[in-house]
């Protein structure tokens, strides 16, 4: 028996296999579950044949509670985010952060409806939305993006590919390497949001290079229709 336990311990050291596999379901408190369910479905389209589900199948159950509250206060959160929200040294922390696509569409929908919502762009670390449900519970959405900007190391190159860099929290490379990463399904590469940094300046300083870059990306999506890009232009 002792030998068997030692073998299992050795196996666990050799291969990381946590016992918690994934989130099976989520339980949310609400003073009015029907209202909350309709609210989440309205903004995020979660109703699937009467079930409230995420795209991966994770179920959300909304249960009645007189004074529902999910959030907590922390000081151990990046200061740049706290300052953007104007909350000072303390930060009202969300307990759930959902991965999404098309952040702008979600944000505009909530903003136009008068919801309490904040858009936060963290550059190569992604873009977030912080929002509140009808009971005042705070949540976050997150979408990774690829930043495209002028490459100072290749500024004087006659090859336009050297004059641009693609980067996020997972990589920093040229356009050809980036496209290869998408095909290889490398971490951080297969995200459709492409942010062109200093777009107006690039149009003035390197219009030919910028045009060729966009043509290359469009050609790639034409040849690989399963991969699409959504361009965001930041001045």
Q: At what angle do helices 103-112 and 33-44 cross, to 10 degrees?
A: 130
User: Which residue intervals of the chain are DSSP H helices?
Assistant: 2-14, 33-44, 79-85, 103-112, 175-184, 199-205, 207-223
58 vs 1 pLDDT, higher one: 58
3-class secondary structure, 45: coil
Question: What tokens does 160 get?
Answer: 């336009």
Mind listing the pLDDT tens digit for each residue in 39-70? 999 999 999 998 999 999 999 999 998 888 88
pTM for this predicted structure: 0.84
Evaluate whether 178 touches 158 at the Cβ level (below 8 Å): no
Question: What tokens does 226 get?
Answer: 């399963």
């Amino acid at each position: 028996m002792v030998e068997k336990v030692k073998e299992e311990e050795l196996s666990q050291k050799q291969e990381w296999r946590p016992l918690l596999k994934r989130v099976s379901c989520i339980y949310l408190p609400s003073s009015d579950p029907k209202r909350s369910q309709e609210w989440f479905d309205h903004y995020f389209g979660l109703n699937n044949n009467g079930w409230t589900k995420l795209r991966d199948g994770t179920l959300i159950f909304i249960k009645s509670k007189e004074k529902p509250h999910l959030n907590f206060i922390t000081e151990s959160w990046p200061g740049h985010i706290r300052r953007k929200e104007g909350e000072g040294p303390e930060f009202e922390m969300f307990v759930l952060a959902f991965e999404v696509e098309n952040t702008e569409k979600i944000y505009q929908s909530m903003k136009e409806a008068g919801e309490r919502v904040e858009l936060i762009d963290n550059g190569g670390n992604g873009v977030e939305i912080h929002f509140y449900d009808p009971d005042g519970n705070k949540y976050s959405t997150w979408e990774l993006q690829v930043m495209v900007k002028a490459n100072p190391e290749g500024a004087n190159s006659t090859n336009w590919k050297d004059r641009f860099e693609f980067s996020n929290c997972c990589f920093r490379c040229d356009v050809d390497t980036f496209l290869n990463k998408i095909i290889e399904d490398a971490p951080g590469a297969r995200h459709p949001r492409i942010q062109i940094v200093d777009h107006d300046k690039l149009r003035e300083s390197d219009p030919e290079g910028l045009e060729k870059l966009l043509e290359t990306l469009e050609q790639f999506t034409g040849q690989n229709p399963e991969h699409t890009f959504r361009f965001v232009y930041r001045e």
